[in-house]
Amino acid sequence: MTDTGLELGPKSLDSSVGEFVKENSDYYSTEFAKIQGKTGFAWSWNTMAAIFGPLWGALRGLWGFFWTFLVLELFALVQIGRGLWGDLGASQMARWERLEGLVAKRQQQAKELLQQGDNEGANAALNVAGNLRKAADNARDAAEAASSEAVTILVVGLVLLVIVKVIEGFYANVNYEKQYLRWRAAPEVQTGLSWPSAAFGSFLLLGIWPLTLYRFTVSKPDALVTEFPIKKQFFTPTANWLEGGFDWLAVEFGNVFKGVTAAIRAVLDGLEVILVATPWPVVMLVIVVTAWRLAGPRVAVFSAAALAYLAMFGLWEVSMITVALLGAAAFLCLLFGIPLGIWFGKKPRAYTIALPVLDFMQTMPAFVYLIPIIAFFGTGKPPGVLATIIFAMPPVIRLTALGMRQVPEGTKEAAVAFGCTRWQLLTNVEIPLAMPSIMTGINQTILMCLSMVVIASLIGAGGLGANILEALQYAAKGQGMLAGLAILFCAMVIDRIIQGMYRRKTGQA
């Protein structure tokens, strides 16, 4: 075999195709040669594939082929089934019967009224009966029309089936040739015929087709098919048991939860003193000057305008409360997230264990973990901060770890070669080189904190989120809009300042 890759003579191709298809190798060699000789679509017909459809795919290990045509054939078969034995006009028929009943009832009523001498009432009832009769007639016509459509549907189904079969016949070899190319690169791809595969395919087919056909062609399928037979038998006791578990934990570890709450509250109180209790002109001035120093005059002007907006609409205090919430959450995120990220960056094994937890923290909808938080920490600001931390911590951990792992081995080695201790290595080499990535993580975490503020207000965290929540409850569009803009401005000011800082940092170093 001359397998240089340069000279693929027809001979070597043949023998390897034979190795791949095992059965019928002459047929496939010619067909593959035909396909490979064409640049566009090659018309190559495979009768077996057309007849057996998905099962041929299963036998040859083409599972994409199997599933695609399983679904397409099923669709055609459902149409055929509906045409043959489906009760097409059934719903209209039922309506007609119901309406007829109503008509009879009204007529009876009219008769009774007439006997009582209430001519007007009788007329009205007859009128209604007449209208109902018209509707009933319509329904009957529709039912008749529907059942006469059965033939059309049957024909459409048959035509569809033929079309699907034709596509199968023409697509099979093209698909199989692609599989052959995959096999050349990855020898674990199935070769030849596999009867276990075919058996598995048949099993799937037998499981899927009859039930689905039954469901879509019979007008009133058995409840067993449409609904899962188990109702709330398991759900309720489990929910109760969990509830008990939460209660037990809340009592048993009450002190731990209280301690966490107290710690968060301490941070929060400190920030609130700085932001809310400090006279507003001082806070404003500090923010604008910070923006100027870190991010330049344009951001400073923008910040001044945003702050003016907050003040003018009386949202100053509530905004500062929001920023304090955000600040506390962000501070705690960074306080724990960066060291964790550094540790994970240096210990890949710890990181692999932590990864699912981080994924969980990020993908779990916030509403879900609000429940245990309320159970253990109650409502108010500290639980709100905690929920925010859970939501916003992963990015800074991830990006810090990423940054640490991206520090070139060679640079670290050089530092060690000059006699660095591990601490010197960390502070002089690893953290500075990981800084751009860490800064990105910090920025993302802070913005995620801000987006969590509205949700945290659900458990009574207050701030602008509470205003928005209130506006949602009373459909107060104006109020909601103003508060929403306030959140947007807070986010933009913070983001711009951090970005400016980041640019200064990375621009210099």
By beta-carbon proximity to another protein, the closer residue of 268 and 429 is 429
Kindly state the smallest distance separating residue 412's Cβ from another protein, in Å: 9
C-alpha to C-alpha distance for 402 and 430, rounded to whole angstroms: 11
Kindly state the smallest distance separating residue 421's Cβ from another protein, in Å: 7
Candidates 216, 169, 227, 221; CA nearest to 74 is 216
Kindly state the smallest distance separating residue 341's Cβ from another protein, in Å: 19
By beta-carbon proximity to another protein, the closer residue of 241 and 423 is 423
By beta-carbon proximity to another protein, the closer residue of 311 and 420 is 420
Long-range Cβ contacts of 124-129 (<8 Å, 24+ apart): 129/103
By beta-carbon proximity to another protein, the closer residue of 378 and 432 is 432
By beta-carbon proximity to another protein, the closer residue of 34 and 505 is 505
Residue 384: partners with Cβ closer than 8 Å, 6 or more residues away: 325, 456, 457, 459, 460, 461, 462
Kindly state the smallest distance separating residue 186's Cβ from another protein, in Å: 23
Q: How many residues does the chain have?
A: 509
List residues binding another protein (CB under 8 A): 408, 410-411, 413-421, 424, 428-429, 432-433, 435, 509
- SS3 breakdown of the chain: % helix, strand, coil, rounded to 5? 85, 0, 15
By beta-carbon proximity to another protein, the closer residue of 314 and 408 is 408
Kindly state the smallest distance separating residue 434's Cβ from another protein, in Å: 11
The 10 Å Cβ neighbour count of residue 429 is 18
SS3 assignment, position 509: coil
Kindly state the smallest distance separating residue 423's Cβ from another protein, in Å: 11
By beta-carbon proximity to another protein, the closer residue of 189 and 420 is 420
Kindly state the smallest distance separating residue 405's Cβ from another protein, in Å: 17
C-alpha to C-alpha distance for 452 and 395, rounded to whole angstroms: 14
Residue 349 vs residues 340, 352, 359: alpha-carbon distances, Å:
13, 5, 16
Kindly state the smallest distance separating residue 351's Cβ from another protein, in Å: 21
Candidates 325, 337, 326; CA nearest to 362 is 337
Kindly state the smallest distance separating residue 413's Cβ from another protein, in Å: 6
Kindly state the smallest distance separating residue 429's Cβ from another protein, in Å: 6
Q: Is the dihedral of CA 283, 288, 289, 295 positive or negative?
A: positive
By beta-carbon proximity to another protein, the closer residue of 133 and 503 is 503
By beta-carbon proximity to another protein, the closer residue of 418 and 474 is 418
Q: Is the dihedral of CA 405, 409, 415, 416 positive or negative?
A: positive
Residue 57 vs residues 49, 366, 478: alpha-carbon distances, Å:
7, 44, 61
- Mind giving me the DSSP string for 63-98? HHHHHHHHHHHHHHHHHHHHHHH--TTHHHHHHHHH
Q: Determine contact, residues 395/408, Cβ cutoff 8 Å.
A: no
Kindly state the smallest distance separating residue 60's Cβ from another protein, in Å: 37
By beta-carbon proximity to another protein, the closer residue of 108 and 424 is 424
By beta-carbon proximity to another protein, the closer residue of 228 and 418 is 418
C-alpha to C-alpha distance for 392 and 442, rounded to whole angstroms: 10
Candidates 471, 482, 78; CA nearest to 311 is 482
- b/e 138-164 (16+ beta carbons within 10 angstroms → b): ebbebbeebbeebeebbebbeebbeeb
- The CA radius of gyration of the chain, in Å to the nearest whole number, is 36
Kindly state the smallest distance separating residue 344's Cβ from another protein, in Å: 22
By beta-carbon proximity to another protein, the closer residue of 7 and 413 is 413
C-alpha to C-alpha distance for 273 and 261, rounded to whole angstroms: 18
Kindly state the smallest distance separating residue 428's Cβ from another protein, in Å: 7
By beta-carbon proximity to another protein, the closer residue of 108 and 427 is 427
Q: Is the dihedral of CA 287, 292, 295, 298 positive or negative?
A: positive
The 10 Å Cβ neighbour count of residue 505 is 15
